[in-house]
Each structure stands twice: as structure tokens, then as C-alpha cells.
Structure 1
Amino acid sequence: MDKQQTYDYLDTHGVSYEATEHAAVYNMAELETVELPYPDRDAKNLFVRDDKKRAYYLITAMGDKRVDLKAFRQRHGTRALSFASADDLRSIMGLEPGSVTPLGLLNDEGRKVTLFLDADFAGGIIGVHPNDNTATVWMQAADLVRIIEDHGNEVRVVEL
């Protein structure tokens, strides 16, 4: 699903959203140079896997939070975690590095990835890429959870 297909999917599934087009950004530092309507609601996404490559997780946190993978592992009972490879990202979610987003789970045909969503987004807006790092889509976090769960991926809303 590319950017336009993602917008079409959101429209078809009754998700109200606002899109902000911008220059390509590849990390949170570059995003700071972009003028965003809700800068405090932008998400940082970490695509990780366990040490046996059996379990994949997308950790979506508030952009200014640091995620300690060792503490995350202990809190959520996972095996040792490391960042998934660019090849894993492409083969599982059809995304390129720098474009990681929960909306990429809509490309996860095997439903391999569990989304861990920062509880600080609950009840409010979240900003994520529409499977392309040249835009940010702003929507209610509850709508994001609904469409990911409807797709068949597990979603856990957790304190990070």
C-alpha cells in the first residue's frame, strides 16, 4: 500500500484524518525541521524482533520518549530484542527504512507484527506516516487501533 492507497484505505474505513505533506524525513531529528500542526503528538516507531526472529514488534511511542529495549523486554516478557533488518521491514511491511509506521501493518499479510502503542496517545491524536515519509497523517489513536486490529494484527496499548 503506497501513500495514496493508504489515504483511500482510511477513507473507505471511515477514518477521519488530516494529512500534512512535507519533505522526506528519515528520523526524529529531521522531523524537527518540519512545521507540523500537532508536533507534540507525532509518533516515533521502532521495528524490532526477538533473538530467534520468531516475533516481530512495532513499538510506537511519543516522539520525545526514549525507549529502553531491555526494560521493554522485562516489562512485556519478550525474548532479547534487537532492531529488525531493512530486509525484514521490506518483506513484512513493504516499507523502506525511514518510513516505519503502524499503517505499514496493513501490508503485513502474515500478521507477524504486534503493535505496542504508547498509552500516552490514548484518547487523542497520533501522527504517523502514510507508508511514505513525505507526509504525516493525523488521526485519533482509537481509529488507528481499530483498523490495525480489524486487519488482524495484535495491538497492546502500554505505558512506555
Structure 2
Amino acid sequence: MGFTKDQLLDRLQELEIDYSKYEHPPVLTVEEQAKYVSSSKGALSKNLFLKDKKHRYYIVSAMVDTKVDMKVLSQRLGLGKGGIRMAPEEALGELLQVSLGCVTPFAVVNESARDVSLLLDQKFKNQTRCIFHPLSNDVSVSLNTLGLDKFLKSIGRDPVYVDLEANPVVGKDQAPDLAVCVPSNSVIVPEIPNQTSSTQIPLPKSVSAEVKPVASAKTSKPACKVKSVAENSAPSAYKNPEKFVQEILDKTSALLLSEAKGECVEALAETLRKRLTSELTHLSIMYKNSAYAEGFYAGTRHQPKRL
């Protein structure tokens, strides 16, 4: 179960973050919110929950008057035109664990939103205070960006402020400036380079020896069958980085608990699990992507000759 608004407000108090709370009827739009929370209390915000074609999610939190061009944002993220759109309502509950009208930067406090990228409007930096919903749209809180930054850092997030109205050139010689903000929780098929890089790992001789008989075969069906068997024989845990990490942590915890007993040891094991889950998942995804890329390049370099 995710954080409640009361738990979030308690967290702000624990962090000694100065904020003001304004209770009001549930609102679904900024216009409705403005009826109950005066702009003199702070800068109102609009919050977009977006999704790209690779099932990666983003929260874009912007000033009300900031124009967010979805096509431009998509290009700046390196997703091409039309590569990003509004996320389905079902994802609000599954990832952010909030209902419609409650999207907020505070939603990244939930573990289920650990892979959701958060982009904050650079204009917030120029405001004395900013207004957001604390996971519920029947309350608004006003705080400065120092307080927001302190909260985000307390949950392991580095605040990312972006000029959302910028429209930089993106092309062959100009990389997308926001590509680093794309979450890494999905496998991205790399583009095929024109030439093989000298830093790539050379294929073992045994691999090339296995390819030759396939090249001399009359049809490519045997090669397809071998690939299918290899895929089916792989344990499902190794196809999913998160399950793979959980398996490692389960075995590590079991070993630790078998060597020592007591509540302190169990608490330590749980603490280590929480701290290592994110880092190990990120590393396993990197290894998975690298292995995928090497296999992809190997397949393009060693195509069987046509008879």
C-alpha cells in the first residue's frame, strides 16, 4: 500500500520542511483548485503523467502558464516525434498509487514509482513558494523549492529542473538534451553501427565454428529451432532483472540468517535488501542490455551465406 496524505505530511514534518496546508473540496483541474487556493499562497502547478512506447513513465510538473509541447518534449527525450503520450488511468493506481487528479511530484515517494522519471519546471526556482497536492486532491500544500528538493533527496531522488519551453535542435550532430532523463527499466534495442567498434568484445572461435555449418545448410530452419530451444531453456528469473535480483537477495538473506540469529540480524537483512534492490536491479538491467547488444551485433556480423 502506498503513502497516504497524512503519512506524507508527517514525513515533511520529520524533515523539518516548512509548508502550509490548505484543505478544500476534491478538485480535478487547476482552474478548480484556484477557486480555493489563492495564487498569493504560491505558484499553482499542472502535473502530467506520461508514457512512451517502451512502457516507461514520466511525471512532468510545470507552472500553469508553461507551455509543454509534447512533440518537442518527445524529441528532447530522444523518442522521436509522437513518442510520448498521456499515461492510461490504470497506471495511476499501479505506479503512482494515486487517483485521477492527484498526480504530484510527491508520488515518487512510493516504491512502485521508483522507475518513474520526474521532470520539474525550471520556473519553479524563481517562485517564493509552489503549490502541489500531497497525494490527494482535497488538500494543497505550499512550499519552496528548497523544501521540495530536501524531500526528494531524502528518498534518494536528485531533483531535475528543466526549461520545458526550450526547443533545442536535435539531430545527427546534436544529441537529445533530456535523453539522460529516460528511465532505464526497459530494454532498448540499439541502432546498428556502420562499422564494428574496436572496443567490442570479439566472438570466441567456438561461436564462429558453430555458425559455419548453418551457413552451408540448405535452409535456415535448423538455426531457428536452435534459437527457440535456447530461449525456452533459459530460467524465467534470468529474463526479468527484478526477479533475478530478488533471487540473489533471497539467497543472500538466507545465508546471513543461517549464520546468525536474532531480531537485529533480521532487521539488518531487511535493511540491506531495501538498499541493494534498486542498485542491483539497475546493474542487472545494464548487463542484460549489454548482452542483448552483443548478441544483436554478433547476429548482424555473421549472417549465413545464401546458396
Q: Which has the higher contact order (CA 8 A, sep 6+)?
A: 1
Q: Please say if residues 18 and 138 of structure 1, whose CA atoms lie closer than 8 Å, have aligned partners that are also in contact.
A: yes
The percent identity for this pair of structures is 30
Aligned partners of 1:85 and 1:45: how far apart in 2? 14
Question: Does residue 127 of the first structure (1) align with residue 147 of the second (2)?
Answer: no
In the TM superposition, what whole-angstrom CA distance separates every residue of 1:47-95 from its partner, at most 9, and x where no partner exists? 1011110x21110000222311111122333461111112111111110
Question: Does residue 142 of the first structure (1) align with residue 146 of the second (2)?
Answer: yes
Task: Sort the Cα spacing of 1:37 and 1:21 in 2 relative to 1 into closer, same or farther, 3 A.
Answer: farther
Question: Does residue 26 of the first structure (1) align with residue 28 of the second (2)?
Answer: yes
| Equivalent position of 1:2 in the other structure | 4
Secondary structure of the structure 2 residue equivalent to 1:103: helix
In the TM superposition, what whole-angstrom CA distance separates every residue of 1:90-110 from its partner, at most 9, and x where no partner exists? 111110010111111111445
**1:47-58 residue pairs with structure 2 within 5 A?**
47-53=49-55, 55-58=56-59
Comparing both structures, which one devotes a greater share of its residues to strand?
A: 1
Letter in 2 for 1:133: N
Aligned partners of 1:42 and 1:88: how far apart in 2? 24
**1:9-158 residue pairs with structure 2 within 5 A?**
9-36=11-38, 38=40, 41-53=43-55, 55-78=56-79, 80-109=83-112, 111-123=114-126, 124-158=128-162
* TM-score, normalising length: structure 2: 0.48
Aligned partners of 2:74 and 2:66: how far apart in 1? 16
Secondary structure of the structure 1 residue equivalent to 2:35: coil
Letter in 2 for 1:142: L
Letter in 1 for 2:7: Q
Structure 2 residue ranges without an equivalent (≥5): 165-307
Aligned partners of 1:38 and 1:135: how far apart in 2? 17
> How many corresponding residue pairs?
159
* TM-score, normalising length: structure 1: 0.89
Q: Please say if residues 114 and 153 of structure 1, whose CA atoms lie closer than 8 Å, have aligned partners that are also in contact.
A: no
Q: CA deviation at 1:146?
A: 2.7
Q: Name the larger-Rg structure.
A: 2
Structure 1 residue ranges without an equivalent (≥5): none
Task: Sort the Cα spacing of 1:42 and 1:152 in 2 relative to 1 into closer, same or farther, 3 A.
Answer: same
Letter in 2 for 1:5: Q
